[in-house]
Amino acid sequence: MRKLFSLIIAATALTVITLQSCSKGGSGGGTPAAGGLTVSVNKSSIRADNFDELVITVKDLNGTDVTSGSTIKINGTPSASNKFYSSTPGNITIKATKSGASSPDVTVTATDPGPSPFTQKLLTEDYTGTWCGYCPRVGTSLKTYSSSNPNCIVVGIHGPSGSSDPYNYLYISQLASAFGISSFPTVIVNRDAKWLETSTELNTQLSKRAPVGVGLETTVSGSTITIKAKVKFDITTEMPLKLVVMLVEDNLVASQVNYYAPTYGPDPIAGYIHKNTLRSAGTDIFGDDIPVAQQVSGTTWEKDLTINAAGYNISNCKIIATVVYGTNGLRRGSLNTQIVTAGQTKNFD
C-alpha cells in the first residue's frame, strides 16, 4: 500500500514538473496567443480636416511599447506610420498585429469639420522668360483661366540665371533646384506639382477645403512697403509651416519670343505685357517659420515686415503671401494664398 502511494506521489510530481516546463517554454519562445496586444489612441474622435492627428500606440501583455515593430492596420489597410489623418468623415477601425499576436479592434470617429470660413486660393508660379518661344502658350492659358477664376493667383518667375531676360529673379536657381525645373515654361501649382496644362488640375485645387486664411495690411512710404501678414487657423496642427511673402510687379513690358506665330501674335511679340513678375521677397523665398504654438484653431498669427521697392513702379506692385509646409515635414505645398495691391488691405475672405 505504501509502495502504491509512493508511485502515485511520484507520478503527480512528474506531471507538475512537466506542466511547469511546458508553461515556461510557451511564454518564452512559442507563438503568442491571439489577443496579446493592446492598442491605445490619443483621442477618441478627430476632425476630418486632414490635420487633426491621431496617434496610435501598441503594447504587449507586459505593457512594453511595441509600436515600432507592429503592423498597424487602419480600416484593414496597413499603415506606414502610427500617425493618421483623415479627410473623410466616418468610423476608423484600428487593429495591430505582431508575431502572430493581435489586438482587439479600436474604433475612432472622424467628424465632419463643416465648411471652411476661408476661401481657397490657388498659387501658380510660371517659370518663364522673354527669350522662351514656347512660353506664350502657357502664359496665355494661365491668363485665360485666372480671368474667369480670380482665386487663381499667377506669379511670373523669370530666368534662368544669366539669360537675356531683363526681369530675371535673383534666386531663380535656388527655386529651380527645389522644384525640379529643367525646362521653360514650367508651372508649379501650389508649390507642389508641375502643371500638365489642364483646367481640371486647377479646379481640383480650388475645390479643396481651406485650412487657413491669409490677410494682408500694407502701406507705402516712398519706396518702402510695410506689410502686416496675418494667418488665421481653422485647424490645429504641429506640422511645420512657413509663411512666404513676395513682391510682384504687374504690367511689365518687354519683347517676347514666340515660336507659335502667328498664334498668340508675331515673332517676336513687341510690347508683350508680363503679369505679376516676381521681384523680391520680404521673407526667405522658401518661407519663415510659423511658431507651432500659434498653429491652433481660432488663433491668428501676425508677422510684420518691410520690402524695399526702389526701382519698381509702386502703382503696379502687389504683395502675395502664401502659407506652405515646412521643408522638414512629410508634406509639401501651399495651404492658402492671398494677394493685395501695395498700399491696400485684404482681410481674411
The per-residue DSSP string of 274-328 comes to EPSEEEEESS-TT-EEPPGGG-STT-EEEEEEEEE-TTS-GGGEEEEEEEEE-TT
Give pLDDT tens digits for 49-83.
999 999 999 999 999 999 999 999 999 999 999 99
How far apart are the C-alpha atoms of 269 and 255, rounded to whole Å? 6
Contact 132, 257 (CB under 8 A): yes
Determine the topology of domain 38-111 in CATH. Answer: Immunoglobulin-like (2.60.40)
The Cα–Cα gap between 85 and 42 comes to: 13
For residue 255, the tally of other CB atoms under 10 A from its CB is 14
Tens digit of pLDDT for each residue in 117-143? 999 999 999 999 999 999 999 999 999
Report pLDDT for 328: 74
Q: For 257-304, how does the pLDDT look when each residue is reduced to its tens digit (9 = 90+)?
A: 999 999 999 999 999 999 999 999 999 999 999 999 999 999 999 999
104 touches 111 (CB < 8 A) = no
Tell me the residue type at 69. G
| Residue spans in the chain of domains classed CATH 2.60.40.1080 | 38-111
Ranges for all domains in the chain classified under CATH 2.60.40.10: 122-346
Q: Is the pTM of this model over 0.95?
A: no
On the 0-12 / 13-18 / 19+ scale of CB atoms within 10 A, 247 is buried
Residue 18 has pLDDT above 50, yes or no: no
Exposed / middle / buried, residue 338 (Cβ in 10 Å: 0-12, 13-18, 19+): buried
Provide φ and ψ at 65, rounded to 5°.
-70, 115
Contacts of 86 (CB under 8 A, 6+ apart): 46, 48, 50, 52, 54, 92, 110
Over the stretch 207-258, which tens digit does the pLDDT of each residue have?
Answer: 999 999 999 999 999 999 999 999 999 999 999 999 999 999 999 999 999 9
CATH second-level architecture of 122-346?
Sandwich (2.60)
- Lookup: cell for 347: 482681410
